[in-house]
């Protein structure tokens, strides 16, 4: 079964930037849609962004539109989330997960913590 591993989280000041990576263990990765989701401390899950296998179609939640950019490099089996103009309410564990919009998400990575300090 495919495994996903996130990296790139850390502590950043408000207004700063961070780039998250999601790397897959499976060579067929390039045919899969990948999503970024997040979970603020003590809160529920929030979908952030989605990218199709070819990278042709990209979608964002309103809360991050204009600040976050999703991309992928299928040669590296990786999907990225460039996060700019970070705010305190972006503090969360960020997960990547495979799945089409309208379908279930499986598998999920273990998550990477992003902390934005004010």
CB of 109 to other proteins, least distance (A): 7
- Interatomic CA distance for residues 67 and 89, integer angstroms: 13
Residue from 83, 109, 114, 116 touching other proteins (CB under 8 A): that is 109
Q: Pick from 86, 63, 71: which is nearest to 15 by CA?
A: 86
Q: Is position 41 an interface residue for other proteins (rule: CB under 8 A)?
A: no
Q: Pick from 55, 45, 64, 61: which is nearest to 104 by CA?
A: 45
- Interatomic CA distance for residues 23 and 36, integer angstroms: 12
Q: Which is nearer to other proteins, 80 or 105 (CB)?
A: 105
Per-residue contact flags (x/-) with other proteins for residues 77 to 106, judged by CB under 8 A: ------------------x-----xxxxxx
- Interatomic CA distance for residues 67 and 106, integer angstroms: 26
DSSP state of 54: T
Residue from 41, 44, 56, 75 touching other proteins (CB under 8 A): that is 44
CB of 8 to other proteins, least distance (A): 16
Site residues, other proteins (CB under 8 A): 35, 43-47, 50, 59, 61-62, 95, 101-111
């Amino acid at each position: 079964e495919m495994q996903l591993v996130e990296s790139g989280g850390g502590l950043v000041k408000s207004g700063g930037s961070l780039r998250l990576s999601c790397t897959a263990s499976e060579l067929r990765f390039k045919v899969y849609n990948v999503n970024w989701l997040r979970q603020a401390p003590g809160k529920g899950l929030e979908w952030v962004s989605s990218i199709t296998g070819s990278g042709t179609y990209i979608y964002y939640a309103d809360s991050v539109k204009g600040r976050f950019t999703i991309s992928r490099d299928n040669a590296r089996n990786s999907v990225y989330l460039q996060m700019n103009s970070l705010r305190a309410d972006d503090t969360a564990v960020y997960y990547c997960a495979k799945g089409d919009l309208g379908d279930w998400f499986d598998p999920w990575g273990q998550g990477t913590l992003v902390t934005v300090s004010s």
